[in-house]
């Protein structure tokens, strides 16, 4: 009945000889895939779900987006990684990251300490951003993963799985431990001439945490989790005609949280996913307008972010205000050309490229362009992937401000540019998340259907 659908492309993953299925086979009741047809979350193309060997990734035949992965690791494996990450997360937060010794004064900083000092200096939006991205978001992600994995392992459907998985999807992009650790590195280089630096326990913990969180994220697949939770899908028996290629064209809605296809409501009523109760839309409502609004605000703030100082240093030798660019020049002259390059890419190139890329995507979508959809889909994925790295300079300033508070000798504080810069990062991330990539493909399938 769904034989006309294109079959999903596949990509070879790492081959493991000991495909661990022990956790899966013991699941009993919870096991079993119920979906046969799925819609691509990026271009809405309907495709027949195929059985893949473990460790393989299924990609959309049209836009190349990753559709789902077949886990070759067991639940136990993922759970062990997540618990290890949680333990290291605790260590990273109770021990100091680094200590700065200047003559007899010794100043330790932990993550919470850095946030506290920013708060004390009235920089609450920056403090909030640092706290959210380095503490709250990773904490929420780990807690939710442990809750879900532990319940599944014990054979239960995780309590509140629907809201919890939605929170996970929202919070996930905001956890930026890997960017933070690079920020700490840059800060250390800038601190070398102030005094003696003593690396703390949390510095090593953060490095290990970055590694563990990357491994955890790659073995925790949302679709895999939903497939373990058995649910009767109301649409699986619906025949899909060959002429209508997309879910929307067939009147089907694909859930952006759990990937379930369900029949859409008519008459402008908001429909909720029967499996995870997320609100469903054929297209994100007012996606283009919202995306533009965030983008325009980001453009405006991009100017003060680069012109105003992000860091103010006062010492016995006088006061100095650093903009993003002068900070990079300082790194370059002090011999750390590699870090200067990293900060240049993260703080100057990435935000600028993001602004240009989003503008290009929005204009092309508004003009219903059919030009290079694949390239534009890739551009969108790159924007989503690299956007977080712009947070780097914010972290550098936070660490420096936390450590260099030695009264008249030297004091570093975050400047107004940090506020504007933090806002640019958040606004471009929001703009990218509001953008609906299915709009790239909408004019193309219209042409295809018109041809038939």
Residue 422, token pair as written in the block: 């933090």
204-220 burial code (b ≥16 CB/10 A, e <16) = ebbbbbbebbebbbebb
| By CB under 5 A, residue 40 contacts Zn ion | yes
Cα 50-56-58 angle, rounded to 5 deg = 50
| By CB under 5 A, residue 149 contacts Zn ion | no
Which x/- pattern, by CB under 5 A, does the window 43-62 give for Zn ion? x-x--------------x-x
- Binding positions for Zn ion, 243-262, rule CB under 5 A: 255, 257-258, 260
Choose one: 63-71, 86-94, 121-129, 216-224; the region binding Zn ion (CB under 5 A). Answer: 63-71
List the one residue from 182, 252, 253, 276 that touches Zn ion (CB under 5 A): 276
Nearest to Zn ion of 225, 343 (CB atom): 225
| Shortest distance (Å) from residue 232 CB to Zn ion | 14
Size of the site for Zn ion (CB under 5 A): 16
Nearest to Zn ion of 113, 277 (CB atom): 277
| Shortest distance (Å) from residue 254 CB to Zn ion | 9
| By CB under 5 A, residue 65 contacts Zn ion | yes
Distances in Å between the Cα of 311 and the Cα atoms of 114, 386, 400, 417, 451 are 14, 24, 9, 8, 59
| Shortest distance (Å) from residue 94 CB to Zn ion | 38
| Shortest distance (Å) from residue 155 CB to Zn ion | 22
| By CB under 5 A, residue 127 contacts Zn ion | no
Nearest to Zn ion of 278, 331 (CB atom): 278
| Shortest distance (Å) from residue 274 CB to Zn ion | 8
Nearest to Zn ion of 49, 62 (CB atom): 62
List the one residue from 273, 379, 392, 397 that touches Zn ion (CB under 5 A): 273
Q: What is the 3-state secondary structure (H, E, C) of 339-357?
A: HHHHHHHHHHHHHHHHHHH
Interacting residues with Zn ion (CB under 5 A):
40, 42-43, 45, 60, 62-63, 65, 255, 257-258, 260, 273, 275-276, 278
């Amino acid at each position: 009945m769904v034989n006309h659908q294109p079959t999903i492309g596949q990509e070879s993953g790492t081959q493991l000889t000991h495909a661990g299925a022990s956790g899966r086979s013991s699941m009993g009741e919870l096991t079993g895939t119920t979906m046969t047809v799925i819609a691509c979350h990026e271009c809405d193309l309907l495709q027949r779900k195929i059985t893949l060997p473990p460790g393989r990734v299924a990609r959309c035949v049209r836009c190349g987006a990753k559709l789902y992965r077949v886990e070759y690791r067991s639940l136990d494996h993922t759970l062990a990684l997540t618990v290890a990450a949680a333990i290291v997360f605790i260590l990273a937060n109770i021990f100091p990251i680094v200590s700065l010794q200047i003559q007899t004064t010794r100043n330790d900083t932990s993550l919470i300490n850095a946030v506290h000092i920013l708060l004390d200096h009235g920089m609450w939006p920056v403090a909030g951003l640092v706290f959210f991205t380095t503490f709250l978001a990773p904490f929420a992600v780990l807690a939710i993963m442990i809750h879900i994995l532990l319940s599944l392992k014990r054979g239960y459907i995780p309590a509140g799985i629907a809201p919890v998985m939605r929170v996970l999807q929202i919070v996930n992009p905001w956890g930026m431990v890997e960017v933070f650790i690079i920020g700490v590195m840059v800060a250390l280089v800038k601190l070398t001439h102030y005094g003696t630096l003593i690396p703390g326990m949390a510095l090593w913990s953060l490095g290990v945490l970055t590694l563990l969180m990357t491994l955890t994220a790659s073995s925790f697949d949302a679709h895999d989790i939903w497939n373990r939770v058995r649910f009767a899908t109301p649409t699986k028996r619906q025949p899909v005609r060959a002429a209508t290629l997309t879910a929307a064209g067939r009147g089907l809605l694909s859930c952006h949280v759990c990937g379930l296809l369900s029949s859409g409501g008519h008459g402008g009523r908001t429909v909720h996913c029967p499996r995870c109760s997320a609100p469903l839309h054929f297209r994100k409502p007012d996606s283009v307008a919202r995306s533009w609004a965030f983008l325009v605000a980001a453009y405006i703030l991009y100017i003060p972010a680069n012109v105003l100082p992000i860091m103010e240093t006062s010492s016995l030798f006088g006061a100095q205000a650093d903009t993003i660019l002068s900070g990079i020049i300082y790194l370059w002259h002090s011999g750390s050309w590699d870090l200067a390059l990293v900060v240049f890419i993260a703080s100057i190139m990435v935000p600028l490229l993001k602004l240009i890329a989003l503008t290009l995507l929005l204009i092309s979508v508004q003009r219903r362009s059919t030009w290079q959809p694949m390239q534009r889909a890739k551009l969108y994925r790159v924007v989503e992937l690299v956007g977080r790295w712009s947070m780097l300079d914010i972290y550098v300033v936070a660490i420096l401000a936390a450590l260099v508070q030695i009264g008249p000798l030297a004091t570093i504080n975050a400047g107004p540019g940090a506020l504007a810069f933090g806002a640019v990062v958040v606004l471009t991330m929001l703009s990218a998340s509001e953008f609906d990539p299915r709009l790239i493909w909408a004019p193309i399938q219209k042409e295809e259907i018109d041809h038939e």
